[in-house]
């Protein structure tokens, strides 16, 4: 099976996150993001250039999670695609583009954080986890035969 890839975007959250609702009633997350830029000099050093700024949006569950987890100044990495569109202002057609993040997280190279590995609850998940735990427990239980202990 071929490797599935998408466009990515990394940078920093440059504005306070904004929440809105689409015509379909879905949550929409919107922020302005900045991308740092550098120029490599002949001597091997780098010169810091002005950042560029862009629009980033996310929808549905990704938007809900992003709204609770991101703040202005956070570094991020996102996967998704660029959407180009036009709008009219003062009888002028203005082209724009935005990055639609299907997945987004903090940039671990620039962010200190702790990972919460507890599983999110989904319908029926408690029964599945309980059954799996019983199987693991049964497999890991030592079995006594006479004076010897077999198992783990």
Q: Residue 119: its pLDDT value, please?
A: 87
Instruction: Using the predicted structure, report yes or no on whether residue 151 has a pLDDT greater than 90.
Output: no
Tokens 């986890």 belong to residue? 129
What average pLDDT score do residues 129-146 get? 50
List, in order of start, the domains of the chain with CATH numbers.
Answer: 7-112 (2.40.50.140)
Q: Residue 60: its pLDDT value, please?
A: 98
- pLDDT band at 126, cuts 50/70/90? low
CA distance 67 to 48: 30
Read off the tokens for 57: 């949006």
- Statement: the pTM of the whole predicted model exceeds 0.85: no
Q: Tell me the pLDDT tens digit for each residue of 48-96.
A: 999 999 999 999 999 999 999 999 999 999 999 999 999 999 999 999 9
């Amino acid at each position: 099976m071929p490797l599935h890839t998408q466009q990515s975007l990394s940078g920093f959250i440059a504005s306070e996150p904004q929440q809105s609702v689409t015509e379909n009633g879905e949550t929409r997350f919107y922020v302005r993001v900045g991308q740092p830029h550098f120029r490599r000099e002949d001597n091997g050093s780098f010169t810091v250039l002005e950042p560029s700024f862009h629009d980033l949006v996310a929808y549905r569950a990704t938007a809900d999670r992003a709204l609770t987890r991101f703040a202005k100044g956070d570094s991020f990495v996102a996967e998704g695609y660029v959407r180009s569109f036009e709008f009219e202002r003062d009888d002028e057609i203005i082209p724009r583009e935005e990055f639609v993040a299907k997945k987004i997280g903090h940039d671990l190279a620039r962010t200190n954080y702790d990972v919460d590995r507890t599983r999110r609850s989904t319908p029926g998940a408690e029964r599945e986890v309980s059954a799996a735990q019983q199987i693991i427990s049964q497999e890991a239980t030592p079995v006594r035969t006479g004076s010897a202990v077999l198992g783990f």
